Structure 1
Amino acid sequence: MAGKTTGTRTLSKHLPWSTLAFVLDLLILLLSASSAHAVPAFARQTHQPCTACHVGGFGPQLTPFGRQFKLMGYTLSVGKDTKVPLSLMLVETYTHTAKAQSSPPANNFGSNNNTELQQASLFVAGRITDNLGILAQGTYSQNGGLLGWDNSDLRYARSYTLAGRPAIWGLSLNNNPSLTDVFNTAPAWQYPYMSSNLTPGSPATPILMGGLAQQVIGLNAYTQWNNALYLETGVYRSLSPAFLGDVNANFTGRLAGVSPYARVAYTWNLPNGNVELGGFVFATARGQVGTNSQGKPAAMAGPTDKFHDYGVDASYQLLNGSNHIVTINALYLTEQQRLDATYASGGSSNLHDNLHALNANASYWYKNTWGVTLGVFCNDGSKDLMLYGNNGSPDTNGGIAELNWNPFGQADSWAQPYVNVRLGLQYVWYTRFSGLVYNVDGAGRRAADNNALYFYVWLAF
């Protein structure tokens, strides 16, 4: 699976770390509170190749079997011999923009042509008891030199029968709204599954699209009936700024009370695949951020900004054996905002704003080894000069094309499931950025100057 990573403890300016210290620190973070990408620990637990759960050799796109494995709490296990519930992931990347950025995108990087150890992650993943399982990730990123907690999903699940049909119910304790989802339309799992963190991005998207990732704690209850109807509801609360500082997660403001989340989806199972249609609802109110006496982020008293997100999604999978696989995913989100806190502080021109986001993509895989993906994104919303600057528009549109090669992607490949390698070449282009085609930054930069070539090597074992 895939997810946006955050970091935690600042590293010394003078690497290296010893490997032992690195692994121990990751373990401490994971066990103190710890989903994530493809994890071979699950394959070892189930005695199944990674292709049983994932499209494309390994994560994050889930097959029907992978979806059921997650809904049952990561607990399916074959054999009684002890399996080590650990996996490691490394992602090394290269990023080139069409025109060098006006300043380096992060400390210790240049204005163009950057290489980066984007992710080094350790996973605790697997069955804890017959009905309890976990998928937890700790990640180090060279961008910022941070080691921190990442997405976390602790699940309890049981099967039952309703109206003579098989059903599942479960509970999830997690730290990212939509992380619980099993479809790759969900904001936490949508394409692109890997993307550069050293390029300009959309100036604004709905808060459900990662705006609270790793900053909250949520409890969700879900049920699936007849392998078709899926219902989920839950609530999220803020984690304290002090705790988030300890794990180097972002703090963007304390939520007022609890924030409700709901999800519905229906899957039609076809002879050679499936079709899914669903929707999302999320509502939250967030205060502004100040600093305490030690200069650290702290919650401010006063009014809150209110966000109401509504979304629809659809997906299709053609799974005709493992030779030819086609997937299509689409998500549309709209967000209504009442910016009481930001407007009162002079941070926005409007009290009421809105945002809209459309993401769609289609992939083809040959024998889970060779893959090609085409995607489009369209973000727009209210014009607000104070909030967005320059043109005052969040409108950002473009597309993504990606080629992949998994040399060990087939079920009978060498060292399955212990060694997984994916090479990806991705190109992102913009037709509009911050509402403009030309002079998008007020200094003459064009939208197309932000086009980016991104190459990655992704290892999981």
Structure 2
Amino acid sequence: MACHVGGFGPQLTPFGRQFKLLGYTLKAGDATDVPLSLMVVETYTKTAKAQASPPANGFSDNNNTELQQASAFLAGRITDHLGVMAQATYSENGGLLGWDNSDLRYARSASWGSHGMVWGISLNNNPSVTDVFNTAPAWQFPYMAPDLAPGAPATPILMEGLAGQVLGLNAYMQIDGKLYVEAGGYRSLSPAFLRNVNADFSGRLSGVAPYARLAYTWNLASGNLQAGMFAFHASRGLPGTNAQGDAVAVAGPTDKFTDLGADASYQLFVGSKHIVTVNGLYLTERQRLDATFLAGGSSNLHDSLRALNLNASYWYRNTWGVTLGGFADDGSRDLVLYGNNGSPDTRGGVVELNWNPFGKAESWEQPFANIRLGLQYTWYSRFSGLVTNVDGAGRRASDNDTLYMYAWLVL
């Protein structure tokens, strides 16, 4: 409850934000326990109309139950100024255990004249996983989402396009709890390493991909207001396979992606009973597809993508929550890249209801028993640029509407 809105991750309170900025190093008393925790997420997914084929091996074309995640976390203090949040995850979809979001930090507090500051260095594997605001692509709503249902055909590369495939070193500073500045760069990990940790490989970055983040927070009497910007640039070659069928990097031209974004968030805390949050992110991406176009994978040498994600939530006593979100993903028309209508334009909304029966100060077996039950419904007003015949076989956008239920247990 101190760190998380709704008494459960990943939305952070102001205290939770500072805990992360200070490198996860805060400890209670003389506690010396290993900072190990476990998470299990069991889900049920149903689309309005059965999919044309099963979404993954071992599943049916509709009405799927799944052990979506079973994760182990090493998350907490290592030394006075060094901390970590590292996650390993098993998923029934694919049946593999691999590495997930990881963030190793060295952080210190300091003063500069009359100004207080926090500064640090992060070694991490996902651009924007370092962020403390729930507008960032790595942490935005929906915080738990189905992996056995159709989704947007294309989004900017910063929206999880490189998660787990890269290693980055970022330096950051926050001044007076208001101005936040972060800058760093990411390089691709080798296909051999990614294979060992069961991570995807979607092509090797050429050189270092720079990342920058700027945000400002206004601390209000009963909450806070934040606004900021993102910038990211990456050059990536196409993936290939060797004679054994393993993923390898292919030499040659690269595709260039330049992402620019703006974000804002608002938090209102009314005593311990009521919490309201509002989050928004807009990203635009310019693409020069030298590799894809030369390989015949796109109609255009130059393409663009845009993504808008808005959501608002209300929590009562950190127990009952409701969140309403909207999304709009679109971009330039490319018949080869997207097929059928040639448009990535996908729009809709999400509503989610939550119940956290445990995990509060007075809860049974506090703090070890933490569970969130979620009921989520996603609807589409447009999918791949169309309302009807979105797949060339008569499927409607609304046929992809998805009912999703989950039980999320953390120990």
Which TM-score applies when normalising by structure 2? 0.99
Given candidates 292, 300, 303, the residue that maps to 1:353 is 303
Distance across 2 between alignment mates of 1:367 and 1:301 = 55
Q: Which amino acid aligns with 1:372?
A: V
Distance across 1 between alignment mates of 2:113 and 2:135 = 29
1:345-371 Cα distance to aligned partner (Å, 9 max, x none): 110000000000000000000000000
Give structure 2 stretches of 5+ with no counterpart: none
**Counterpart position of 2:180:** 230
Task: Tell me how far 1:295 sits from its aligned partner.
Answer: 1.4
5 Å-filtered alignment, 1:242-281, equals 242-281=192-231
Match of 2:5, SS?
Answer: coil
Task: Tell me how far 1:416 sits from its aligned partner.
Answer: 1.9
Given candidates 369, 375, 391, the residue that maps to 1:419 is 369
Distance across 1 between alignment mates of 2:141 and 2:245 = 37
1:289 and 2:239 correspond: yes
**Counterpart position of 1:155:** 105
**Counterpart position of 1:77:** 27
**Counterpart position of 2:189:** 239
Given candidates 69, 73, 92, the residue that maps to 1:123 is 73
Retained in 2: the 8 A contact 1:290–1:299?
yes
Distance across 1 between alignment mates of 2:91 and 2:9 = 20
Retained in 1: the 8 A contact 2:359–2:368?
no
1:230-274 Cα distance to aligned partner (Å, 9 max, x none): 000000000000000111100000100000000000000000000
Distance across 1 between alignment mates of 2:272 and 2:141 = 21
Given candidates 374, 380, 391, the residue that maps to 2:330 is 380
Given candidates 273, 284, 292, the residue that maps to 1:334 is 284
Match of 1:386, SS?
Answer: helix
Task: Tell me how far 1:409 sits from its aligned partner.
Answer: 4.3
1:312 and 2:224 correspond: no
Q: Which amino acid aligns with 2:146?
A: S
Retained in 1: the 8 A contact 2:53–2:61?
yes
Match of 1:56, SS?
Answer: helix
Retained in 2: the 8 A contact 1:162–1:225?
no
1:36-57 Cα distance to aligned partner (Å, 9 max, x none): xxxxxxxxxxxxxxx0000011
Given candidates 387, 397, 400, the residue that maps to 1:450 is 400
Retained in 1: the 8 A contact 2:360–2:367?
no
Question: Which has the higher mean CA deviation after the structures are superposed, 401-410 or 109-118?
Answer: 401-410
Retained in 2: the 8 A contact 1:367–1:409?
no
**Counterpart position of 1:132:** 82
**Counterpart position of 2:351:** 401
Distance across 2 between alignment mates of 1:431 and 1:346 = 31
1:94 and 2:64 correspond: no
- Which runs of 4 or more aligned residues in structure 1 lie more than 4 Å from their structure 2 counterparts after TM superposition? none
Percentage of pairs with the same residue: 73
Task: Tell me how far 1:412 sits from its aligned partner.
Answer: 2.1
**Counterpart position of 1:59:** 9
**Counterpart position of 1:204:** 154
1:259-300 Cα distance to aligned partner (Å, 9 max, x none): 000000000000000000000000000001111122111111
Question: Which has the higher mean CA deviation after the structures are superposed, 314-323 or 360-369?
Answer: 314-323
1:179 and 2:129 correspond: yes
Distance across 2 between alignment mates of 1:367 and 1:189 = 23
Retained in 1: the 8 A contact 2:359–2:369?
no
Given candidates 79, 92, 95, the residue that maps to 1:142 is 92
Task: Tell me how far 1:415 sits from its aligned partner.
Answer: 1.8
Retained in 1: the 8 A contact 2:328–2:346?
yes
Distance across 1 between alignment mates of 2:101 and 2:169 = 14
Distance across 1 between alignment mates of 2:31 and 2:389 = 62
1:114-159 Cα distance to aligned partner (Å, 9 max, x none): 0000000000111000000000000000001111010100000000
**Counterpart position of 2:117:** 167
Distance across 2 between alignment mates of 1:414 and 1:167 = 38
Task: Tell me how far 1:77 sits from its aligned partner.
Answer: 1.1
Match of 1:372, SS?
Answer: strand
1:377-398 Cα distance to aligned partner (Å, 9 max, x none): 0000000000000000000000
Distance across 2 between alignment mates of 1:80 and 1:228 = 31
Give structure 1 stretches of 5+ with no counterpart: 1-50
Distance across 2 between alignment mates of 1:343 and 1:81 = 57
Retained in 2: the 8 A contact 1:368–1:409?
no
Retained in 1: the 8 A contact 2:25–2:82?
yes
1:93-118 Cα distance to aligned partner (Å, 9 max, x none): 00000000000000010000000000
Q: Which amino acid aligns with 2:9?
A: G
1:54-90 Cα distance to aligned partner (Å, 9 max, x none): 0011101000000000000000112223212110000
Distance across 2 between alignment mates of 1:193 and 1:158 = 29
**Counterpart position of 1:23:** none
Q: Which amino acid aligns with 1:55?
A: V
Retained in 1: the 8 A contact 2:359–2:367?
no
Task: Tell me how far 1:196 sits from its aligned partner.
Answer: 0.4
Q: Which amino acid aligns with 1:205?
A: T
Match of 1:52, SS?
Answer: coil
**Counterpart position of 1:303:** 253
Match of 1:100, SS?
Answer: coil
Retained in 2: the 8 A contact 1:337–1:354?
yes
Match of 1:402, SS?
Answer: strand
Q: Which amino acid aligns with 2:177?
A: N
Q: Which amino acid aligns with 1:398?
A: G
